[in-house]
Amino acid sequence: MALDRRTFMAYFGSAGLSTTLLPGVLWGIAQQQETVTKEMVAQAEKIAGLEFDDEERENIARALSNNVRNYDRLREVALPNSVVPAVQFDPVLAGMILPTEQRPIRYTRAAGVRRPADLEQVAFWPVTRLAELVRTQQVMPSELTEMYLTRLQRHDARLHVVVTLTADRAREQAARLDAELRAGTYRGPLHGIPWGAKDLLAARGYPTTWGATPYRDQLLDYDATVVERLDAAGAVLIAKLTMGALAQGDRWFGGMTRNPWRPDEGSSGSSAGPGAATAAGLVGFAIGTETLGSIVSPSTRNGVTGLRPTYGRVSRHGAMALSWSMDKIGPMCRSAEDCALVLDAIRGPDGRDPVVRDVPFNWDAERPLSDIRIGWFRSAFEQTNAEGERNRFDEAALAAMQRIVPGLIEVELPVQDYPLQAISGSVLGVEAAAAFDELTRSNRDELIVPDPERSSWPNTFRNARFVPAVEYINANRVRTLVMEAMERAMRDVDVVITPNSVLLLTNLTGHPQVSLPAGFTQRNDVDVPVSAQFIGRLYGEADLLRVAQAWQDATGHHALVPPAFGV
């Protein structure tokens, strides 16, 4: 069997060799060899950090030649992106006890809500207020649907947030919900609320493009679990919203999604469309996903409230897989309580995503904060810049929390104790390369739109072929140590306020995090949002969002809207 380019890549993927360190002549030698040779092994062992003698190299070469043949046999098996690996990540450590009692959800019933003369005035209202308009039949679902569809069509040319309008589906669904209301059936606070889906969630009858040219015509003939559950709750899907190509950045095959506060810049990613559309009042709420910042980052950039739930809280069935051990799905809304209402609709096992646990979510909008142990990440808040100054926005966020709950508990989180970037690089890159193995080997990865501000996915996928399997496993073993350290750090608290220095840590450990608008800074004389960050215990979203709700009620930053898109 000739050792062609694909076989060569497969072999050196096993051996851990980076092509950037190979003499160029080795490519020519490899392409002419019938088998892997000891000379190839000698080159590869440099990257593996090992040294063998000639006899050992001969033995390795024979074994690797057999491996190459095995790789070819494995590749004969079709592996669509939806197939999950048999090895699964679990953020719950041995001995952890999770709650089991589910109590009735208690959410805010907005009092005295009245329909304005111009319905578009409600475009920026939180779900809690929109829900009261619908419940009292002052506004019908079809009216809200048409209002938001109109705003999407009016503003998309400026923001580039829409991949596909699902107008036909939305109108049919809204009409059914109108009829239910008139017949006395009210499904709950999401009944008739229009929403937008990040375009990695499957919706039957519409393309699911993953933001990338190779998949722009992809049709998946089923609904993602999240779509099914929001349908059941009465929410109305009105658009598939943009995402950075294959969940990176804010550039997709149609251009760059824009920030409503400053349309000359991008909206961050990869949940670019959900962040921008929610901030601009084009949807009632949106659903995003996060592997390593893709909810938190666009929530910060666009000034919305974004919740990344605990890993294993929401089913990912019907969502594009990037990293099976790190992908999460969560709401992007206008308030913390909105996030609670959406999370309650989409959480829990579905029998299709094997990592999802059945853990109660006991949202109570009136729970006393005295029942919740709240901490602050002291050393992170005390960090200074080159001029010796602390971040004034972080300090203001902390001061607001201290006014609400004096005597916060000091905690130290393990952000400096372990090589978090190295763990992420070994885990995320390898899993992403496996998820898009066929794309790389077919050379269709060249169709991915490059993001000049980031390393491109094609390079990441290619480089990951050369990460030794042993290093991937050991990175996950170190990840276990990080999870144990995080559990010790969170032992005496339920919620922690922190600067946004924990994003990598919490994505690796699976802890939930919520990003809240926290004011504005100026870039080139333009106000742009900044955020405050809170993290919770595993499956502790109810406590996390209750504290976030109290902080928002005290600060009011979440109620501000981008001037160019206001009504």
- Out of 20-34, 420-434, 520-534, which region has the weakest mean confidence (pLDDT)? 20-34
pLDDT band at 551 (very low <50, low <70, confident <90, very high): very high
| pLDDT on residue 175 | 98
User: What's the rounded mean pLDDT across residues 217-234?
Assistant: 98
Question: What are the tokens at 225?
Answer: 């679990």
Burial track 233-250 (b if 16+ CB lie within 10 A, e otherwise): bbbbbbbbbbbbbbbbbb
User: What's the rounded mean pLDDT across residues 230-251?
Assistant: 97
Report whether pLDDT(2) > 50.
no
pLDDT band at 23 (very low <50, low <70, confident <90, very high): very low
Which CATH code, of 3.30.1600.10, 3.90.1300.10, 3.40.630.30, 1.10.15.40, is assigned to 119-415+479-561?
3.90.1300.10
What CA–CA distance (Å, rounded) separates 566 from 202? 31
- Out of 17-21, 141-145, 262-266, 413-417, which region has the weakest mean confidence (pLDDT)? 17-21
Task: Tell me the one-letter amino acid at 244.
Answer: G
Convert the pLDDT of each residue in 360-386 to its tens digit. Answer: 999 999 999 999 999 999 999 999 998
Q: Percent of the chain beyond pLDDT 90?
A: 82
Report whether pLDDT(29) > 80.
no
Q: How far is CA 498 from the centre of its chain?
A: 19
Domain ranges of the chain: 1-77, 119-415+479-561
- Out of 46-50, 151-155, 527-531, 532-536, which region has the weakest mean confidence (pLDDT)? 46-50
User: What's the rounded mean pLDDT across residues 546-550?
Assistant: 98
pTM of structure:
0.92
User: What's the rounded mean pLDDT across residues 209-230?
Assistant: 97
Report whether pLDDT(132) > 60.
yes
431 to each of 47, 202, 211, 455, how far by Cα in Å?
20, 21, 19, 16
For the chain, what is the mean pLDDT?
92
Whether residue 270 is preceded by a cis peptide bond, meaning omega within 30 degrees of 0, is yes
Report whether pLDDT(24) > 80.
no
Cα R_g (the chain), whole angstroms: 25
| pLDDT on residue 48 | 81
- Residues annotated as part of the active site: 198, 270, 294
Closest by Cα among 68, 54, 107, 181 to 362: 107
CA angle 502, 507, 510 (to 5 degrees): 115
Q: How far is CA 147 from the centre of its chain?
A: 28
| pLDDT on residue 526 | 83
